[in-house]
Structure 1
């Protein structure tokens, strides 16, 4: 078992309140305690505090440099297999257990959220879930497939709605059956002496590599997919009849593409938004199950 985080073990000192403890105890946003704890352990790490401020400007400078270099490379040149081998190698050897766990969770949460929307839509569609059980599973081009899945989902969903002459609205009863806690154990993540890199630093480092080894089209598609957070948030809000939860979405507007320079930071916001939306859906599922139990004879 993981040790108790410092911000929980030390308790509260009114003369020197711990900002991480305040964030952990705050329940204004939907996030399970075990996820919030892992997120804050990663965010309060020495890597995040001391390394990220140096890595971020270097990574963004690399994005600009690579963009210049790629003007001399054939447009269709790409090395997706090499990219994913390097990512898997880096995750297993250098990234913290909490960050690896959150990355693997993200694939499961995204698959469940899309399945929830697809099944409860007035024009239901099937989805193509990506649910890696270990870091090695990511080798099968899963980072690229994740972005492609999202665009294909939006296109197929709206084609189905248009063909049926319908608009997104809440059904009489929501189907939450696809929602569950991902079968991933934090204790099973790599814990070597070099597994210290926090989530944000890892993403900032991997983003230029992503740009270098994929085509410009693939990289821009991946970066712009982050702005579909608002789109997915709107679909979920329409099904839940809860538009107020859109305030949790930070990546917007989907019709205004942003520069790729801040893709790393926006990817972190994308991951957090997914965690919060999944937590909200799980809460609604529990409420429905409790109501069913009370109504049972």
Structure 2
């Protein structure tokens, strides 16, 4: 698909902030992902609709929280929720936003598979790889949250049982990493598919809150705190703590109020894209694997020490 940023006219007296962000390479994103992200951010929907819908959505969440005092604790209509999400994504959400949402399930699955493959214990991951928007109907969002928490529990129970911890891996297994087989061109493009990513998430969040149990909704909100947790796992494997710098959903032990869940969910999606991009670049050899370089340094130091010990 045509990338308008590669041919963007540059007026030095009126430089485009979107062109600057696209050309900037401090954020590790593939060009096509960054272009879709910025196209969504610069849309009229985000500029004019988001400021209206965000305060209304947050007021709705407060009212729903009060309503839940009187509803049964097991009040849940997860299947209805996911059917509504799939319907709205097909009819109202922009192609860029839909593409980024669908990519997220693939990227999250691949990152967890990377941690599992390079952990010192046997741990299984449950990948989610939806190919069409209607796959959302299979309680996809709920399963995504459950998979994340279950993976963290499964991994750490195994580490504690075997008295082990995640350590740098000089030759990490990158075999599970690839770009998802999802094309932006295949996303719905009806006349009403105009809603940007952030506005869509702001609308979805109170609906999510209403149609799930309090427990399910709070777990979904608190799952965003695990961005740093998963990034730390990868940083330990790669011996690369500097790659935590672009994280925003932290600290894991200080869960935030659900009122800001929609905004944090957008940050969560962006963090996942950047982490996956970094791992892909390491897999292709475009940037060095710090753990590999560290192992080489240790090996060289050991060789020098061995020679010195043999010297008369």
Do these two structures clear the TM 0.5 threshold for a shared fold by scoring above it?
A: yes
Alignment of 1:211-230 (within 5 A): 211-230=209-228
TM-score by length of 1: 0.95
Tell me, yes or no, if the aligned pair for 2:282 and 2:288 is still in contact at 8 Å.
Answer: no
| Aligned position for 2:259 | 261
| Aligned position for 1:294 | none
Counterpart selection for 1:42 from 26, 40, 43: 40
The C-alpha deviation readout for 1:113-143, integer Å capped at 9, x for no partner, is 0000011011131110011001011110010
Larger radius of gyration: 2
Please give the alpha-carbon distance, in whole angstroms, between the structure 2 residues aligned to 1:115 and 1:212: 32
| Aligned position for 2:188 | 190
| Aligned position for 2:281 | 283
2:229 maps to 1:231: yes
Tell me, yes or no, if the aligned pair for 2:3 and 2:35 is still in contact at 8 Å.
Answer: no
Alignment of 1:49-88 (within 5 A): 49-88=47-86
Please give the alpha-carbon distance, in whole angstroms, between the structure 1 residues aligned to 2:199 and 2:56: 11
Tell me, yes or no, if the aligned pair for 1:230 and 1:252 is still in contact at 8 Å.
Answer: yes
Tell me, yes or no, if the aligned pair for 1:96 and 1:198 is still in contact at 8 Å.
Answer: yes
Tell me, yes or no, if the aligned pair for 2:95 and 2:189 is still in contact at 8 Å.
Answer: yes
Please give the alpha-carbon distance, in whole angstroms, between the structure 2 residues aligned to 1:29 and 1:66: 37
**How far apart are residue 248 of structure 1 and its match?**
1.1
Q: Which stretches in structure 1 are left out of the alignment for 5+ residues?
A: 292-297
Root-mean-square deviation over aligned CA pairs: 1.5
Please give the alpha-carbon distance, in whole angstroms, between the structure 1 residues aligned to 2:271 and 2:277: 10
Tell me, yes or no, if the aligned pair for 1:147 and 1:222 is still in contact at 8 Å.
Answer: yes
Alignment of 1:103-118 (within 5 A): 103-118=101-116
SS of aligned partner of 1:245: helix
Give 4+ residue runs of structure 1 displaced > 3 Å after superposition. 7-10, 288-291
Tell me, yes or no, if the aligned pair for 2:22 and 2:38 is still in contact at 8 Å.
Answer: yes
| Aligned position for 1:147 | 145
Please give the alpha-carbon distance, in whole angstroms, between the structure 2 residues aligned to 1:91 and 1:192: 11
Please give the alpha-carbon distance, in whole angstroms, between the structure 2 residues aligned to 1:199 and 1:19: 19
Please give the alpha-carbon distance, in whole angstroms, between the structure 1 residues aligned to 2:103 and 2:12: 35
Q: Which stretches in structure 2 are left out of the alignment for 5+ residues?
A: 290-312
| Aligned position for 2:208 | 210
Counterpart selection for 2:168 from 164, 167, 170: 170
State the aligned residue count.
289
- CA distance 1:283–1:40, change in 2 (3 Å): same
Please give the alpha-carbon distance, in whole angstroms, between the structure 1 residues aligned to 2:203 and 2:288: 45
**How far apart are residue 289 of structure 1 and its match?**
11
TM-score by length of 2: 0.90
